[in-house]
Amino acid sequence: MEKFNAAILGLGGMGATHAEAARKSPYIDKIYGYEPDEERRNTRCKEIGIIPATLDEIMADESIKFISIASPNETHVELAERAMRAGKSVLCEKPMGTTLAEARHLAEVEKETGAFLQIGFELHYSKMYKQVKDWINAGLIGTPVNNQCRYYCCEFHKKNNWRSNSTGSFLIGEKLSHYLDLQRWYFGETPQNVYSLSAAKVVDYFNHRDNHQILTRYPDGKIATLNFIMYIAESHTGHDPLRDLLEQQVDDGHYLQYHICGTKGAIETDVFRRRIRRWEFGDSPTNMTSKIVETITFPKEEDQIYFHNVEGQNIHVIELIAKGKPSEMTAQQAYETMKLCFAAELSEDTGELIDFNDPRLK
């Protein structure tokens, strides 16, 4: 097996996760790491167990064929473009850009260079959400027509954190883009229009909104909603060692649930109950019937594989690159999700129903 080298740009917590995934790939030989500050670069590379290198060294080294970008959001476009123009294959954390123009530019660079680019929507590789897609593709719920997501959590970004200090559409683009992307994936359609509302802030030190109620209409009467609140659950002030963490959280107000309803059945995903369920609709002399016909549960040791399988995604992407296969989520597809995020933000800013072809989204 011919191996190649990898480089990780951005060596925070997510960068360490990317480095560990590259280490587990049978296709990767050496792993290099980059941070703009030399002292931090050397320290973090030693901690993670990879080789420090400058950005110029990484881009010039032909043995480095794969670049994984886990740097701050505002650097994603610049680094991804430079890597693609240097002939590298790129996996970049979302968001695809801090503006829609940036995201569109990155898609254009991918097309121009013919480079491999995949944006890190790892829920496509997470067992919980992939199971939903498999059931839909098998026709087990008929045609999906209604997609509901309820996401309630506590405020865990903390004061004066880069997340709480971020502005604009931060929460939608950084966090909720995953769940808006799922509705696009499950419907297999491009949105028609978006209407979103946000109540007055409760978390007064946020520079961005702390709640979103996003309603999206798709072709053929399909609709999706995302109801997000970032303060209703109890704060993470400690974990009772005698209780399972997710059990404790679901009891104190945390929710992350999907309900995908189709013409022949429905599916529920429930993160905090570690459960996936499928309903089958039927008929009787008196009414339509509904019956739970399949339930999948899993142990806490498999949480990340089911919820946010970054490692599995990265290992799989490296395999695609090694075998000369194309990205499984094109830049254009990722751009469509980013466009949905910015349409929701525009709707909240203006109070308008936003058409997906609105010139303000160009």
Q: 45-83, pLDDT tens digit by residue?
A: 999 999 999 999 999 999 999 999 999 989 999 999 999
**73, part of any domain:** yes
pLDDT at 33: 98
Residue ending a domain, among 73, 90, 119, is 119
Q: 241-300, pLDDT tens digit by residue?
A: 778 888 888 888 999 999 999 999 999 999 999 999 999 999 999 999 999 999 999 999
Q: What mean pLDDT, rounded, does the chain reach?
A: 95
| Tokens linked to 358 | 């609105």
Please give the residue range of the domain that contains residue 272.
124-307+340-350
In 110-210, which ranges are E strands? 117-119, 144-152, 193-197
Q: In what order do the strands lie in the sheet with 28-34?
A: 51-52, 28-34, 4-9, 64-69, 89-92, 117-119
Same domain flag for 94 and 166? no
For the domain that residue 38 is a member of, what is the CATH number? 3.40.50.720
Please classify residue 158 by burial: count the beta carbons closer than 10 Å to its beta carbon, then call 0-12 exposed, 13-18 middle and 19+ buried.
Answer: exposed
**131, part of any domain:** yes
Same domain flag for 39 and 109? yes
User: Please, which residues have CB within 8 angstroms of residue 328's CB and are 6 or more apart in sequence?
Assistant: 118, 124, 317, 320
Confidence of residue 156 (pLDDT cuts 50, 70, 90): confident
Same domain flag for 297 and 173? yes
**142, part of any domain:** yes
Same domain flag for 157 and 301? yes
For the domain that residue 235 is a member of, what is the CATH number? 3.30.360.10
Residue ending a domain, among 103, 119, 135, is 119
Same domain flag for 15 and 70? yes
pLDDT at 169: 67
Domains in the chain: how many in total? Answer: 2
Tell me how far apart the terminal alpha carbons of the chain are, to the nearest angstrom.
Answer: 44
Rounded CA-CA distance 69/75 in Å is 9
Please classify residue 157 by burial: count the beta carbons closer than 10 Å to its beta carbon, then call 0-12 exposed, 13-18 middle and 19+ buried.
Answer: buried
pLDDT at 360: 94
